[in-house]
Every structure is written in structure tokens, then in C-alpha cells.
Amino acid sequence: MSHTLGVRQAQKQKTRQALLDAALALLEEQSLSSLGLREVTRAVGVAPTAFYRHFRSTADLGVALVEEALGSLHPMIRHTVSPGEDSDERIARAVELIAGHVAAHPAHVRFIARERHGGVQPVREAIREQLARFAEEVRAELARDAASAGWSETDLRMLAGLYVDQMLITASLFLETLEAPEEERRRAAETARRQLRLISVGRAHWLD
């Protein structure tokens, strides 16, 4: 018999999630540093004071949003970079994966792009940590690839960082293109693929 939450805990979780969802929606048009606690509770339909039962501040809520936006992405990242298979096909698949993710979770992607350099220090720090984890996971995956024979640890980390940054750039490019005509989105995807391909070519000839 599985462990079920009590009624009270379940209701609390539900309210907490409603606060997170409402905040994320409000953050489509503003930054976290201007998001008001009363705005969020008003959107959910609870008293302002209820906020404090879940978060100490909007910054605290922001850190929770970082976990929600990036925490579940680690398996996907790993899978994207995994070795084997043809390079062009892997690139095409990675770009499609990013495009799909942006289409499925635009608000989360926008939040990360916006707050990565935003005005709230604990949130910047939380994003930095998650991205560092991504880079480390990509590095580990690259290290398993036969193409990485002879590469120094420094260079593997350098390349992993380049890939992570490029994924973010691609994601935020797709975000800007979300409401654009099909033609423009197609061009954005093509540019993203070529940039990744150029990095691949550089990688292939790095030790020449």
C-alpha cells in the first residue's frame, strides 16, 4: 500500500503549486524583482498572508521555480549529447528536442532566460548551479565518446560549456520565434543546426 498524503498536506501542496503557476504566468510580462506577493495571491484567490505558509518571499518562490524549470531536465540533456549515431542526425534531433521543450514550456524557458542575469541574487545563484550541473553532465557524456580520445579535462569542460550555452541561446531564439510565422521558425532552426554543426566540425579537428 503506497504512502498517500493526508488531506491537509495534499491541500497545502495544491495551494503551493497554484502559487507557483500563478507567479510563472505573471512573470511572462515582468521580472521577478518586481513581482508582488499580493499579485500572486490575488491571482490564486487566497489571502495575501497565505503566501507566508509556503514561501518566505518572492525570491524564495523564484528559487522553487528554478528547480521546477530545470530540475527535471537532466535526463533529457544527458540523452541529447550521448555518443554514437551520425553527427548531423544527432544535431537535428537535439534542435527538435529544444524546439519541442520551448513549445511545451515557454513560460519556464522565459523565466530562466530572464532571471539568469536578473535582479534577484538567490535565483541567479540557483540557475548558475543547475547550469553547472548540466555542464558537468555534458562533460561526463563527452568523456565517454570515442571522439574525445586525447582531449584534456580542461578542453572537455570548455566544450561542455560551449554546448550548454549554445542550447540556451537556441532555446531563447525559439522563444522569440514562438509566435512568428512558420518560415521564420524554420530559419531559426536551420541557423541553430548550422551553429551546432560548426562546433562539431571544430571539435572533429581540434587535435589536428
Cα 165-111-41 angle, rounded to 5 deg: 165
Q: Nearest approach, Cβ of 17 to DNA (angstroms)?
A: 10
With contacts defined by CB under 8 A, name the span among 27-35, 41-49, 71-79, 88-96 that binds its own copies.
27-35
Backbone angles phi, psi at 146, to 5 degrees: -60, -30
Q: Cell digits for 129?
A: 548551479
Q: Which does 57 bind (CB under 5 to 8 A by kind): DNA, its own copies, none?
A: DNA
Task: Indicate which single residue of 90, 93, 116, 185 sits in contact with its own copies (rule: CB under 8 A).
Answer: 116
Task: Pick left, alpha or beta for residue 150 (phi over 0 → left; psi -120 to 50 → alpha; otherwise beta).
Answer: left
Judged by beta carbon, residue 38 or residue 79, the one nearer DNA is 38
With contacts defined by CB under 8 A, name the span among 13-21, 77-85, 114-122, 134-142 that binds its own copies.
114-122
Q: Does 42 bind DNA (CB under 7 A)?
A: yes
Provide the CB-side half-sphere exposure for 16 (13 A, CA): 17
Report the distance separating Cα 126 and Cα 115, nearest Å: 10
Q: Does 129 bind its own copies (CB under 8 A)?
A: no
Q: Does 54 bind DNA (CB under 7 A)?
A: yes
What's the first-to-final CA gap in the chain, in angstroms?
A: 60
Report the distance separating Cα 77 and Cα 95, nearest Å: 12
Q: Does 7 bind DNA (CB under 7 A)?
A: yes
Q: Which does 52 bind (CB under 5 to 8 A by kind): DNA, its own copies, none?
A: DNA
Judged by beta carbon, residue 15 or residue 172, the one nearer DNA is 15
Judged by beta carbon, residue 6 or residue 75, the one nearer DNA is 6
